[in-house]
């Protein structure tokens, strides 16, 4: 059962579709796939991925899934294929890079050092468990004698003090040390910059997506900020410009975007570079 799109949203879709180079980015869970109890049971809603595939095939359009999930399960569950861009782990992973990581040289080097130092720490404290993350390591001390666990976490804290660019997230009997914490907002802006996008669409349903909406609204490229189209899926306070009810409404919106881009494509062709892309 579908209902027609809000007329203001329809107008916004048409205006968005008319820009030469556009980035269409969306979150996955809660936007293209209904939320489920076991995250690996998640399946895309009917029509969503085909609409994104159609969009990605149109000139001047880049489509990206931007998720908190790691890249591998995101690819597996969405069944997304090139040229769709996959951004995983809140921006730490990027399918456009051969190793799947959106890290610079320094961060790569730091990740290697971190891995070695954490391994040595685990050898000094038998019972410490090390969890590998794409851009970091998590040190778990649950189950260790209290003093032993405390000592191990103190060593992890000292390690973090030696490498000041590490992002430290402490928890109860656990500490995560990461070489990067990108976040969806920074990831979206970086992607828009890379593509030299004139306008950005983003749809999301959660708190982390609010960072995306906020970053696009506060984009220092004020012209691009003015051309953003942001959509919150479901309830909750939001900085997005529009709201739709659920995943089915997202599909409807994406189908409308495909149609609008196809008809805009007859009068607009992608500009060769930004200087000719207009105000």
Interface positions with Mg ion (CB under 5 A)? 27, 29-30, 205-206
Secondary structure class of 246 (helix, strand, coil)? coil
Which residue's CB is nearer to Mg ion, number 192 or number 203?
203
Q: Which residue is nearest to Mg ion (CB)?
A: 30
Find the shortest distance in angstroms from Cβ 22 to Mg ion: 22
Quick one: CA dihedral 243, 16, 93, 57, positive or negative? Answer: positive
Find the shortest distance in angstroms from Cβ 131 to Mg ion: 23
CA distance 236 to 147: 43
Find the shortest distance in angstroms from Cβ 263 to Mg ion: 30
Which residue's CB is nearer to Mg ion, number 155 or number 247?
247
Find the shortest distance in angstroms from Cβ 33 to Mg ion: 9
Which residue's CB is nearer to Mg ion, number 73 or number 127?
73
Which residue's CB is nearer to Mg ion, number 27 or number 94?
27
Find the shortest distance in angstroms from Cβ 30 to Mg ion: 4
Which residue's CB is nearer to Mg ion, number 155 or number 206?
206
CB-based contacts of 162, cutoff 8 Å, min separation 6: none
Find the shortest distance in angstroms from Cβ 29 to Mg ion: 4
As to burial, measured by CB atoms within 10 angstroms (0-12 exposed, 13-18 middle, 19+ buried), residue 251 is: buried
CA distance 227 to 243: 17
Which residue's CB is nearer to Mg ion, number 177 or number 213?
213
Which residue's CB is nearer to Mg ion, number 90 or number 140?
90
As to burial, measured by CB atoms within 10 angstroms (0-12 exposed, 13-18 middle, 19+ buried), residue 246 is: middle
Find the shortest distance in angstroms from Cβ 262 to Mg ion: 28
CA distance 89 to 133: 9
- CA-angle at 256, arms to 252 and 258, nearest 5°: 115
Find the shortest distance in angstroms from Cβ 253 to Mg ion: 16
Length of the chain (residues): 279
- CA-angle at 9, arms to 216 and 255, nearest 5°: 95
Strands 199-204, 22-26: parallel, antiparallel or unpaired by DSSP?
Answer: parallel
Which residue's CB is nearer to Mg ion, number 54 or number 206?
206
CA–CA distances in Å: residue 198 to residues 93, 96, 214 = 24, 20, 17
- Residue 22: its H or E element: strand 22-26
């Amino acid at each position: 059962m579908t209902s027609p799109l809000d007329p203001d949203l329809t107008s916004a879709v048409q205006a968005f579709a008319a820009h030469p180079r556009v980035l269409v980015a969306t979150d996955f869970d809660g936007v293209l796939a209904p939320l489920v109890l076991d995250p690996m049971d998640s399946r895309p809603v009917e029509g969503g991925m085909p609409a994104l595939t159609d969009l990605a095939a149109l000139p001047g359009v880049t489509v990206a899934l931007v998720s908190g999930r790691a890249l591998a399960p995101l690819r597996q569950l969405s069944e997304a294929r090139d040229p769709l861009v996959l951004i995983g782990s809140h921006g730490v992973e990027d399918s456009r890079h051969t190793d799947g990581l959106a890290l610079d040289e320094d961060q790569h080097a730091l990740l290697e050092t971190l891995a070695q130092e954490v391994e040595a720490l685990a050898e000094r404290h038998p019972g410490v468990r090390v969890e590998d993350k794409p851009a970091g390591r998590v040190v778990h001390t649950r189950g260790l004698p209290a003093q032993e666990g405390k000592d191990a976490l103190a060593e992890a804290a000292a390690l973090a003090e030696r490498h000041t660019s590490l992002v430290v997230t402490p928890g109860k009997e656990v500490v995560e040390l990461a070489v990067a914490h990108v976040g969806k907002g920074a990831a979206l802006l970086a992607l828009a910059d890379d593509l030299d996008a004139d306008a950005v669409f983003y749809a999301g349903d959660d708190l982390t997506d609010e960072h995306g909406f906020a970053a696009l609204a506060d984009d220092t490229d004020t012209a691009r900020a003015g051309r953003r189209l942001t959509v919150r899926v479901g309830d909750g306070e939001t900085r997005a410009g529009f709201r739709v009810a659920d995943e089915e409404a997202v599909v409807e919106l994406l189908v409308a975007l495909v149609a609008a881009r196809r008809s805009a494509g007859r009068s607009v062709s992608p500009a060769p570079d930004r200087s000719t892309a207009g105000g």
